[in-house]
Amino acid sequence: MKKLVVMSLCAVCTVFRAGAQDLHFSQWFNAPLLTNPANTGFIPDADYRLGANYRNQWSSVMSVPYQTMSIWGDAQVFRDRIENGWLGLGGVILRDQAGSGTLTSTEAYGSVAYHQMLGYASLLTAGFNVGVVNKRINTSTLKFPDQFDGKFFDNSLPTSVVIDQPNVNYLDMQVGMNYAYFPTSRMYLNAGFSVQHINRARESFFSTDPAGFNSLIPPRYIGFVNASFKTSDQVIINPMGYYTTTAGASEMVLGLNVQYDLEDKGDQQLIGGLYYRSGESVIPMIGFVYKSIKLMFTFDVTTSSLSGADNSRGAWEFALINEGTYGNQYSGDRRQSLCPSFRN
């Protein structure tokens, strides 16, 4: 019965506050274009990269769990035409399904960023992206408060709720900035800040807003810091922190991961880490690097009051990233930030 109530409340909430929580990944650092458009082309170890993310949430509570997936890519361009700088171009496609098709989101963004070296050990970046968002809702699977008979939700009962536009589209825009400092080949510091939904598009399945309700998407602010320290020829430590807030809701994730070189040249690496989402979950991580391919897996262990409903099994997630270079085109003058690496 508890699980039925949880699922019903979730379905109702998605209708009235569909924009209350943006799509997100625990591995925010492996979804760079979603975290900050200034990350586009911000690739310390390569010239281009392709990535995919997948998140499965609440599978222990719902028969059809929440699923979020994305594919993305970005690249550095014009490094031979811009003095001590370059452009980054990229794009990302997201797909999210809340339960059994109740709410489906599809988003596609294109992004551009400009990167400028400041001396030999600093880099400043500004980025922008714009995209199209589509949200659809399957009203036949929804249950509303006036369909509750005291024990169960009965879809055959009439409801006073009328959803007059179950398919909506709108334009969405983000801006962001990054700063990196890398005084030696063994230390790298990075911080960034971005604002999402700067155009404040209207997101609603109703043609008019109910009294006291504002369907304009509020801005979402994201800040992050991370660092890399090469402590030995076989170990690199990467501490990091992430904070986001929107419409009074906030999320903070703190943690670190450690890269261990299984060979002398970094072609095979083992990665282990631990993160904490404040007031919600502990997130262990394990990953492996083989040449230019990186695969990382995390599991959200619920620590909040919801742990009794989901048996502490909040979500699992993986990220797959492939990085590459343009060969010797820019050999000897890469003009980009240097991150601690086993290949140096």
pLDDT at 322: 97
Q: What is the pLDDT of residue 247?
A: 92
What pLDDT is attached to residue 157?
Answer: 77
Q: What is the pLDDT of residue 314?
A: 82
Q: What is the pLDDT of residues 58-97, one digit of tens each?
A: 777 766 788 999 999 999 999 888 888 999 999 999 999 8
Model pLDDT, residue 175: 98
Rounded average pLDDT over 103-117: 96
Q: What is the pLDDT of residue 11?
A: 39
The pTM of this model reads: 0.88
Predicted local distance difference test score (pLDDT) of residue 21? 52
Q: How confident is the model at residue 328 (pLDDT cuts 50, 70, 90)?
A: low
> Of 251 and 209, which is predicted with more confidence?
251
Is the predicted pLDDT of residue 22 greater than 80, yes or no? no
pLDDT band at residue 13 under the 50/70/90 scheme: very low
Mean pLDDT value of segment 311-318: 87
Rounded CA-CA distance 196/204 in Å is 18
C-alpha to C-alpha distance for 35 and 46, rounded to whole angstroms:
19
Give the mean pLDDT of 293-310. Answer: 88
pLDDT at 100 over 70: no
In the Cβ-directed half-sphere of 336, how many Cα atoms lie within 13 Å?
24
| Strand ranges (E), the chain | 48-57, 66-77, 85-98, 103-117, 122-137, 167-184, 187-196, 220-230, 235-246, 249-261, 268-277, 281-290, 293-302, 313-324
Q: What's the mean pLDDT when you consider all of the chain?
A: 87
pLDDT in tens, 236-289: 999 999 999 999 999 999 999 999 999 878 899 999 999 999 999 999 999 999
> At 51, which amino acid appears?
G
- Asked whether the predicted pLDDT for residue 294 surpasses 50, the reply is yes
Closest to 285 measured CA to CA, from 29, 19, 22:
29
Cα separation of 109 and 90, whole Å? 8
| pLDDT winner (highest mean) among 4-13, 156-165, 205-214, 234-243 | 234-243
Give the integer Cα–Cα distance in Å for 127 and 41. Answer: 10
333-338 long-range Cβ contacts below 8 angstroms, 24+ apart: 334/79, 335/79, 335/84, 335/85, 335/86, 335/117, 336/43, 336/44, 336/76, 336/79, 336/86, 336/115, 336/117, 336/123, 337/42, 337/44, 337/123, 337/180, 337/182, 337/188, 338/44, 338/182, 338/185, 338/188
Average pLDDT of the residues in 103-130: 95
pLDDT given at position 329 = 54
Q: Residue 8 has what pLDDT?
A: 39
Instruction: Output the pLDDT for position 87.
Output: 97
Query: Tens of pLDDT along 152-186?
Result: 787 777 777 778 888 999 999 999 999 999 999 99
* pLDDT(151) > 90: no
